[in-house]
C-alpha cells in the first residue's frame, strides 16, 4: 500500500505550539487518536478512504502537524519570486546588467556592415535597405520576442534552453529518466500550474507523454540548442576580439593581417587563462566599460548622421525593405546572413538572465541598448553612403581622428567583456546539462561566495580556448567567422521558438490563437534568416555544425548510457520482503561501523547491495542507502534537501536518505555532505521518537522538558522536509498499548548513541562501479557508441567518490557488468 507522507520539518516547527499549553490534553489526545488510526491503517494494510468521514480526521491531523509550516514555506517561496525593487535600486541593477547581459549584443556594430556587403556595395540605396532590415530585426527579435516575451519564461530567474526544459519537465512527464517522486512536487521551488482535463494544454501534455519518441525528440531539440550556444562560446570571442584588433590596420596600414591575428590570439589566450579567478573581482568594471561603449557609439553615430547624410533616417520606414528585395539578386538575399549578426548575443542575453531581475534587463535594453544601437548603425550607414569603399572597416573609418585611439581601447575592452559574457553562459549551460544527466561529470568550481551562478569549468575552458584560437588563426578574417556565428545563432533562435511554443501552452496556458500567432511570426522571420545562412554553409557556416555535432554526440551517448544504467538498477532492484526475510542480522555478521550505500534509486534495495552481501560474509551495523537526485528545478532550499526514511524494523538499523539538488546547486567537495547526512539522520530519529511518544494509546504521557531536550540536542542540526511513509514514524509492531512518551524518547536516545558509536568505529562509502557493454548481437553503431565512446567518457570523467570527497581508504567499489 502507498502510504501518505508526513512533513517532518513542519512538525518540528509546530512543536512549540503543541507543547507550550500542556493543559490542553484534549488537543493532544485528538492528535494521538488520529495518529493511531493512521498507524492502524498502515499496519493493517487497509486504505483510508478520502471520500469517507475519516478523511476529515486525516485532514485535521495534517493541518495540526503542518500549522507552522505555512509561514516558513511562504518565506522560502518569497525568496524565489521576483522581488519588488525600489526605483533607485532597479536603475542600479539595470546599469549593472549592461556589462553581463548586453556585452555581446552591443559589440555587433564592429562587424555587421562588412559581413552584409563582403563584396562591396553596388547600389547606394542598398545601404538604406540594409539599415532598415537591421532596425526591424532589432525591434522584432531582441526587443519584442526576447526582452518582453522569452525573458518572462525564466525558471526562477534562470534562462537558457535547459531552464525552459526544466519548466516543461515540471508541467509534463517528459523526462527520459523517470526518477521523480510526488514528494518532489512539494518543494517550495517546484512551481507549476494546473489546467483543466479537457483543455488544449491537457491534450498537448497527453500527446507529449504518450510516446517515448516524442520525449526523446524534445530532449534532442534541447541538446541541439545547447550545443549551438557552446559553439557561440567559441565564435563570439573569435569574431569580437579579431574585429576589435582589426582597428590597428586602419591607423597603421603597414601592419599585416598576420600581426592582427597574432594580437587577437594573445588577447584570447590571456582571456581564457584568467577564467579561474572568476568575474567577481573585476565584474564591477564590466558595466562602466559597456556603458561607456554604448555612449561612445551613440555619440559617434549622431555625429556621422549630422556630418555625412541625414537622409538615412528614412530607413525607419519598412518600405525600403521591400525595395531592397525588389531590386532582386541572390546577393541581397544572402546579405541577410550579415544583417542577422546585428542580433547576435540574444542567446547569451537569455542564458545570463539569472544575475538580474527581468524588469532591470528590460529597462536597460529599452532605455540604453536599443536607442544606442540604432544611432550607431544609422551613423555607420550615413558614413558609408559617402564612402562606400570603406565598408570593410566601416566602424573604425567612421570614428573622428581625434578620438580614434581612445575608441580603439574602449572597443577592445568591450570585446573582451562580450567574450566573457558568452564564456560564462557556456559554463552555466554545461553545468545544467551535467545536472540533467546529459554531460560527463566534469569539475565545476564556484568562483564567488556571493553569487551562485559564477562558475568555472576548467576542462571546458581549455577546450573552448583551443577551438577559439583554431577558428581565429584558421579563418583569419571576419567574413567566414561571421557566417559560422550567424548559423549558430539562427539555430538557437529556432530551438527557442519551438520550446517557447510548448511553454506558452503548458506553463502560461495561453489561448491557442495567441500561441499560433507568436509561433508563426517568429518562424517566418527566423526561417528567412535560416534560408539565407544555408547559402553560406560552405563559406564558414559548417564550423558550428561540426562543433555542435561533436558535442551532441558526446551528450547523447552519455545520456543514453546514464539512462540504461538507471533502467538496469530499476529492473534489478531487490524486493524489501527478501531483505526483511533475512532477519535483523541480514543473515550475516553485523560488524561495527556505518555503511553508506550509494544508489540512483529513491526506493527499493539496489542490486549492488544484494551483490555485496551475497559475496561477503559481513555488513555494517548501520546501513544507509544514499540517493543523490537532480531535480528539474534551479535550486532546492537547504531546509528541504534531505529526506530520511527507516527501512524495516528498528533493530535492522537500516535507513534511506535522498539528497535532492537543483541544476544550479553545488555538490560541495568537502565533508559537509556526510556531516549533513548524519545530522538529518539524527534529527529524524529524534522526531520519530517524539511522534511515537506523543501519539501513543496511553493517557499517561509525560512531555515536560521534551521541548527543551529537543532543542538542546538539536542545535546546529540541518532540518529537512519530508520522509517517505508513515511506516517510518510508526512502530512496525505494537508490543504494548501502555508505552509512555519518556520510554519512547529513551529508545530514540539509545539508538542515537548506538549510531554514534558505529560512526566512530568507521564510515564506509559503498559505491557501484557499473560497466556497460553492448551485446554481441547489437548493431555496430551501438557497439561503437557504448564500447568505445561511452567507455572512454566514463574513463576520463570524474568519479562520484571525487565529487563527494570520499577518502580512498573509506571507499568500497562494487563492480558489476550489464549488457544493452
Question: How high does pLDDT run on average in the chain?
Answer: 78
Beta-carbon count within 10 A of 558 CB:
22
Q: 341 is written with which cell numbers?
A: 549578426
Q: What is the pLDDT of residues 652-695, one digit of tens each?
A: 888 988 888 888 776 544 457 888 889 889 988 888 888 765 43
User: How many whole angstroms separate alpha carbon 655 and alpha carbon 752?
Assistant: 13
User: How many whole angstroms separate alpha carbon 94 and alpha carbon 620?
Assistant: 57
Indicate whether 277 belongs to any domain: yes
Calculate ∠ Cα 350-173-799, nearest 5°: 70
Last residue of a domain, one of 455, 479, 503: 479
DSSP 605: B
Indicate whether 394 belongs to any domain: yes
So what's the pLDDT on residue 214?
93
Give the model's confidence band at 308: pLDDT under 50 very low, under 70 low, under 90 confident, else very high: very high
Does 560 share its domain with 673? yes
168-171: long-range pairs with CB below 8 Å, 24+: 168/218, 168/499, 168/502, 168/503, 168/506, 168/507, 169/632, 170/632, 170/633, 171/205, 171/506, 171/507
Axis crossing angle, helix 283-307 with helix 404-435, rounded to the nearest 10: 130
User: How many whole angstroms separate alpha carbon 35 and alpha carbon 64?
Assistant: 11
Residue 31 CA: distances (Å) to CA of 26, 387, 686, 736, 743? 9, 87, 18, 19, 19
So what's the pLDDT on residue 554?
94
Does 137 share its domain with 245? yes
Does 460 share its domain with 571? no
**Phi and psi of 590, rounded to 5°?**
-90, 105
Q: What is the CATH number of the domain that holds 158?
A: 1.20.1740
| Lowest-confidence segment of 36-45, 153-162, 304-313, 389-398 by average pLDDT | 36-45
Q: Which of 127-136, 535-544, 762-771 has the highest mean pLDDT?
A: 127-136
Does 461 share its domain with 561? no
Indicate whether 510 belongs to any domain: no
Does 398 share its domain with 313? yes
Q: What is the mean pLDDT of residues 744-760?
A: 76
**Domain count for the chain:** 2
Does 283 share its domain with 162? yes
Does 552 share its domain with 682? yes
Q: What is the mean pLDDT of residues 764-772?
A: 85
Does 457 share its domain with 547? no
Indicate whether 282 belongs to any domain: yes
User: How many whole angstroms separate alpha carbon 427 and alpha carbon 439?
Assistant: 12
So what's the pLDDT on residue 468?
93
Does 599 share its domain with 461? no
Does 426 share its domain with 558? no
Q: What is the pLDDT of residues 173-196, one digit of tens each?
A: 888 887 777 777 777 777 777 777
Does 547 share its domain with 669? yes
Domain that holds residue 309: 87-177+230-479
User: How many whole angstroms separate alpha carbon 317 and alpha carbon 136?
Assistant: 9
Indicate whether 392 belongs to any domain: yes
Indicate whether 190 belongs to any domain: no
Last residue of a domain, one of 479, 498, 529: 479
Indicate whether 447 belongs to any domain: yes
Give the model's confidence band at 88: pLDDT under 50 very low, under 70 low, under 90 confident, else very high: confident
Indicate whether 761 belongs to any domain: yes
Sorted by sequence, the CB contacts under 8 Å of residue 546 that are 6+ apart come out as none
Any idea which residue has 590596420 for its cell? 249
Q: What is the mean pLDDT of residues 104-111?
A: 90
Last residue of a domain, one of 462, 479, 496: 479
| Lowest-confidence segment of 41-50, 238-247, 620-629, 680-689 by average pLDDT | 41-50
Beta-carbon count within 10 A of 511 CB:
12
412 contacts 245 by C-beta, under 8 angstroms? yes
Bigger pLDDT: 355 vs 648: 648
Q: What is the mean pLDDT of residues 303-314?
A: 93
Does 550 share its domain with 474? no
320-329: long-range pairs with CB below 8 Å, 24+: 320/125, 320/128, 320/129, 320/131, 320/132, 321/129, 321/132, 321/133, 321/136, 323/125, 323/129, 324/125, 324/126, 324/128, 324/129, 324/130, 324/132, 324/133, 325/129, 327/123, 327/125, 327/126
Residue length of the chain:
820
pTM for the predicted model, two decimal places: 0.79
So what's the pLDDT on residue 2?
38
Amino acid at each position: 500500500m502507498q502510504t501518505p507522507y508526513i512533513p517532518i520539518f513542519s512538525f518540528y516547527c509546530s512543536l512549540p505550539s503543541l507543547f507550550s499549553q500542556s493543559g490542553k490534553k484534549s488537543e493532544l489526545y485528538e492528535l494521538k487518536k488520529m495518529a493511531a488510526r493512521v498507524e492502524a491503517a498502515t499496519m493493517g494494510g487497509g486504505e483510508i478512504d478520502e471520500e469517507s468521514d475519516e478523511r476529515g480526521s486525516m485532514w485535521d491531523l495534517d493541518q495540526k502537524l503542518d500549522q507552522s509550516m505555512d509561514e516558513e514555506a511562504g518565506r522560502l517561496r518569497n525568496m524565489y519570486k521576483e522581488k519588488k525593487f525600489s526605483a533607485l535600486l532597479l536603475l542600479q541593477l539595470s546599469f549593472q546588467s549592461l556589462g553581463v547581459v548586453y556585452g555581446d549584443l552591443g559589440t555587433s556594430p564592429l562587424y555587421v556592415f562588412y559581413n552584409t556587403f563582403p563584396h562591396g556595395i553596388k547600389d547606394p540605396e542598398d545601404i538604406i535597405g540594409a539599415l532598415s532590415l537591421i532596425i526591424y530585426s532589432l525591434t522584432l527579435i531582441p526587443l519584442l520576442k526576447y526582452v518582453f516575451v522569452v525573458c518572462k519564461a525564466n525558471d526562477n530567474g534562470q534562462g537558457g534552453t535547459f531552464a525552459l526544459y526544466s519548466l516543461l519537465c515540471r508541467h509534463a512527464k517528459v523526462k527520459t529518466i523517470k526518477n521523480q517522486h510526488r514528494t518532489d512536487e512539494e518543494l517550495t521551488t517546484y512551481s507549476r500550474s494546473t489546467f483543466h482535463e479537457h483543455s488544449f494544454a491537457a491534450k498537448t501534455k497527453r500527446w507529449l507523454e504518450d510516446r517515448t519518441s516524442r520525449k526523446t525528440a524534445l530532449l534532442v531539440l534541447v541538446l541541439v540548442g545547447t550545443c549551438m550556444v557552446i559553439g557561440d562560446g567559441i565564435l563570439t570571442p573569435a569574431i569580437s576580439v579579431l574585429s576589435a584588433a582589426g582597428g590597428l590596420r586602419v591607423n597603421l596600414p603597414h601592419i599585416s593581417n598576420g600581426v592582427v591575428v597574432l594580437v587577437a590570439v594573445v588577447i584570447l589566450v590571456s582571456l581564457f587563462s584568467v577564467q579561474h579567478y572568476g568575474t567577481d573581482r573585476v565584474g564591477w568594471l564590466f558595466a562602466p566599460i559597456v556603458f561607456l561603449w554604448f555612449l561612445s557609439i551613440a555619440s559617434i553615430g549622431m555625429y556621422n548622421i549630422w556630418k555625412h547624410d541625414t537622409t538615412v533616417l528614412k530607413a525607419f520606414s519598412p518600405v525600403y525593405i521591400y525595395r531592397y528585395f525588389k531590386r532582386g539578386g541572390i546577393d541581397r538575399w544572402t546579405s541577410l546572413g550579415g544583417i542577422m549578426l546585428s542580433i547576435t548575443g540574444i542567446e547569451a542575453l537569455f542564458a545570463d538572465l539569472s544575475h538580474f531581475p527581468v524588469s532591470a534587463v528590460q529597462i536597460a535594453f529599452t532605455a540604453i541598448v536599443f536607442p544606442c544601437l540604432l544611432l550607431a548603425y544609422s551613423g555607420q550607414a550615413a558614413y558609408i553612403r559617402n564612402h562606400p569603399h570603406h565598408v570593410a572597416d566601416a566602424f573604425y573609418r567612421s570614428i573622428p581622428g581625434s578620438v580614434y585611439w581612445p575608441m580603439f581601447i574602449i572597443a577592445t575592452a568591450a570585446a573582451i567583456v562580450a567574450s566573457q559574457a558568452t564564456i560564462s553562459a557556456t559554463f552555466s549551460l554545461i553545468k545544467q546539462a551535467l545536472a540533467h544527466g546529459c554531460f560527463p561529470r566534469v569539475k565545476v568550481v564556484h568562483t564567488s561566495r556571493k553569487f551562485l551562478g559564477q562558475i568555472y569549468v576548467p576542462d571546458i575552458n581549455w577546450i573552448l580556448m583551443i577551438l577559439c584560437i583554431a577558428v581565429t588563426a584558421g579563418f583569419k578574417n571576419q567574413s567566414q567567422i561571421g557566417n559560422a556565428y550567424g548559423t549558430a545563432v539562427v539555430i538557437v533562435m529556432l530551438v527557442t521558438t519551438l520550446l517557447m511554443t510548448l511553454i506558452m501552452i503548458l506553463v502560461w496556458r495561453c489561448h491557442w490563437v495567441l500561441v499560433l500567432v507568436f509561433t508563426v511570426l517568429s518562424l517566418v522571420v527566423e526561417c528567412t534568416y535560416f534560408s539565407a545562412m544555408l547559402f553560406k554553409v560552405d563559406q564558414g557556416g559548417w564550423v558550428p555544425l561540426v562543433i555542435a555535432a561533436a558535442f551532441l554526440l558526446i551528450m547523447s551517448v552519455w545520456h543514453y548510457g546514464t539512462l540504461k544504467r538507471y533502467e538496469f538498477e530499476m529492473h534489478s532492484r531487490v524486493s524489501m520482503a527478501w531483505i526483511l526475510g533475512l532477519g535483523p542480522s541480514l543473515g550475516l555478521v553485523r560488524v561495527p561501523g556505518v555503511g553508506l550505500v550509494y544508489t540512483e534509486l529513491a526506493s527499493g534495495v539496489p542490486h549492488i547491495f544484494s551483490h555485496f552481501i551475497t559475496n561477503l560474509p559481513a555488513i555494517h551495523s548501520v546501513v544507509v542507502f544514499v540517493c543523490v537526485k537532480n531535480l528539474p528545478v534551479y535550486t532546492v532550499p537547504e531546509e528541504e534537501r534531505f529526506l530520511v526514511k527507516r527501512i524495516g524494523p528498528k533493530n535492522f538499523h537500516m535507513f534511506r536518505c535522498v539528497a535532492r539538488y537543483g541544476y544550479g546547486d553545488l555538490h560541495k567537495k568537502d565533508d559537509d555532505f556526510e556531516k549533513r547526512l548524519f545530522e538529518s539522520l539524527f534529527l529524524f530519529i529524534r522526531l520519530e521518537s517524539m511522534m511515537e511518544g506523543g501519539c501513543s494509546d496511553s493517557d499517561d504521557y509525560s512531555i515536560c522538558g521534551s521541548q527543551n531536550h529537543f532543542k538542546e540536542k538539536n542545535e546546529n542540526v540541518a532540518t529537512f522536509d519530508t520522509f517517505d511513509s508513515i511506516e517510518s514514524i510508526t512502530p512496525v509492531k505494537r508490543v504494548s498499548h501502555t508505552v509512555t512518551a519518556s520510554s519512547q524518547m529513551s529508545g530514540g536516545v539509545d539508538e542515537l548513541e548506538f549510531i554514534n558509536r558505529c560512526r566512530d568505529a568507521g564510515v564506509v562509502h559503498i559505491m557501484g562501479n557499473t560497466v556497460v557493454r553492448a551485446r554481441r548481437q547489437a548493431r555496430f553503431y551501438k557497439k561503437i557508441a557504448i564500447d568505445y565512446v561511452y567507455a572512454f567518457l566514463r574513463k576520463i570523467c570524474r568519479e562520484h567518490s571525487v565529487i563527494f570527497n570520499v577518502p580512498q581508504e573509506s571507499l568500497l567499489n562494487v563492480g558489476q557488468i550489464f549488457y544493452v
